Amino acid sequence: MHTLLVNGGHVALALIGLWLVYYAERANLAPRAYWGLIGGFSAVAALLLFLVTFPVWIFGDFRVAYYVAGQLAWRGPGEAEGLYAHGNGRVLFVNMPIFSYLFAPFGLVHLKIAMAGVTALNIGAALACWRIIVWLYNFTRRESTFALLAIAMFGPLLYNMREGNTSVFVLLLLLLMLVALRLKRGVAAGVLIAFAVFLKPSLALVAGYFALRGQWRVVAGGLATAIGVTALSVLIFGFDLHVTWYEKSIEPFLHAPVIAAHSVETITAFVARIGMPFQEAVGLWTIVELTPEQENIALTAKLVLLAAIAFAIWRSGRITSPTRDDMEAEIYILFILACLITTTTWAHYYVWMLPAFAYAYTRLKTTAAFAKLRIPLIVSFVLSTPVVFVSQQMEQGAFGPFWNVASSHLLFGGLSLIFILAAMRADFGGAGQSAPPQPAANRA
């Protein structure tokens, strides 16, 4: 299928969704009819985009990792070494052994039933994320509708569902962490971020942030959870298997080598593949070594990005005394940094950008001085929304390395959103503080 057809169809679905919102409001539909119409269209749009999303081999991550883990969970710790066997050069299961038990229910049923089950859970988690975002930023019905349409047609979310991965569940944990922070439940927030880090280790950046900010209840909850879960896993599966897990799933990605495949959306991966023909990079799933020049370019880009963020925090004059929305901006920046500067970030990780867009939109709405950031925010969202897709023309090398840039739209969407959030954190334009609207339960 041609790239223009897929992206054109995506735009057409978005326009139809906007027209339906206009129609539903003009017709003054009852709430049940209103949400039935919008919800039904969102489901149809998501299904159509799901069908054209990469990869062709549907539920690849779930089949080779999570479903296998669920089956092995029933065979006892003695069979657990199979979790870390290699398949076509790829490590199958990358989480700590004890987390195989999360997938044990899937191991009891046929693969097709298990795939239907994980899809249903992904949909449920996505809807829960939508409801929490609506609550966090006190969206009106119209804003809630636009948020639902945006989530239903968000490319990284559809890619996550296509792979059967866990990134949307991690997003739910992160949003629940934000709710806990709003409600001043620091220990609960720490427990939630610990589980998020266990599932996606790149989020350790967020965990470290709370220590730097002196949020000791969060740190205590996170450390207690990390120590308890690790100790239990070692007790059940033994120390040697955890050494194997570290050597195969963690240690290789702590250094410069990187996976350069097109769906790995990090600064380092982009530098690694920028000079390759796209048809070579598209399926390069194995680790590649960077040249010294590439390492220097990637490191310089990361340092410039970190320096810009540090400058924004310094410019606000509130380095040591951040407000609540200062801290939320910083946390959202870290969500995206976890995607950009780590060695390996799959495209579905960018689903973590969704609440950051909601935050930035709310700050635009409530702070007039941020009006000049409206167009950059729209551009960032447009860059982040397209489905993950590879056409036949791309695989055949049409337009050469250009596709290595075009297919990295998530990377550029993430970079642009970080700079928008940094500008807001710096009070760009002399905005001062104007906290996002609070849920009714949080208002004095």
pLDDT winner (highest mean) among 78-92, 102-116, 379-393: 102-116
Q: Please write the tens of the pLDDT for every residue from 180-193.
A: 999 999 999 999 99
Comparison of pLDDT for 224 and 246, the residue scoring more: 224
176: β partners: none
- Residue 82, pLDDT score: 84
Q: Tell which residue, 409, 424, 308, has the closest CA to residue 356.
A: 424
Determine the Cα–Cα distance for residues 110 and 82; give it in Å rounded to an integer: 20
**Of 22-31, 70-79, 274-283, minimum mean pLDDT range:** 274-283
For the chain, count helices (H), then strands (E): 21, 4
Three-state DSSP state, 258: strand
- Of residues 362 and 437, the one with the higher pLDDT is 362
More confident residue, 311 or 400: 311
Among 53-57, 61-65, 232-236, 265-269, name the one with the lowest average pLDDT. 53-57
| Angle at 220 (CA atoms; ends 217, 222), nearest 5 degrees | 110
pLDDT digits (tens, 9 = 90+) for 18-48: 999 999 999 999 999 999 999 999 999 999 9
Which is nearest to 263 in space by CA: 8, 90, 66, 85? Answer: 90
- Per the prediction, the chain carries an average pLDDT of 89
Highest mean pLDDT among 209-213, 277-281, 395-399: 209-213
How far apart CA 139 and CA 145 sit, in angstroms, is 9
- Each residue of 231-244: pLDDT tens digit? 999 999 999 999 99
Count of beta carbons in the 10 Å neighbourhood of residue 293: 9
Could you report the per-residue pLDDT of 313-370, keeping only the tens digit for each?
A: 999 889 988 999 899 999 999 999 999 998 778 899 999 999 999 999 999 998 888 9
Tokens 């971020």 locate to: 193
Assign 89 a pLDDT band (cuts: 50, 70, 90).
very low
pLDDT band at 94 (very low <50, low <70, confident <90, very high): confident
Q: What is the reported pLDDT for 136?
A: 97
Distances (CA, A) of 241 to 18, 65, 74, 234, 419: 52, 17, 17, 8, 42
CA distances 119 to 47, 48, 52, 125, 194, Å, are 12, 15, 16, 10, 24
Q: What is the mean pLDDT of residues 78-107?
A: 82
> What per-residue confidence (pLDDT) applies to 278?
65
438 band by pLDDT with thresholds 50, 70 and 90: low
CA 132, chain centre distance (Å):
16
User: Distance from first CA to last CA of the chain, Å, rounded?
Assistant: 54
Q: What is the mean pLDDT of residues 386-394?
A: 77
Q: Is the pLDDT of residue 252 over 90?
A: no
- Say whether pLDDT at 380 is over 50: yes
Task: Using the predicted structure, report yes or no on whether residue 281 has a pLDDT greater than 70.
Answer: no
Q: What is the pLDDT of residues 188-208, one digit of tens each?
A: 999 999 999 999 999 999 999
Residue pair 329/355 in contact by the 8 Å Cβ criterion? no
CA atoms of 104 and 440, how far apart (whole Å): 39
413-432: per-residue pLDDT in tens? 999 999 999 999 998 655 55
Instruction: Note the pLDDT of residue 38.
Output: 96
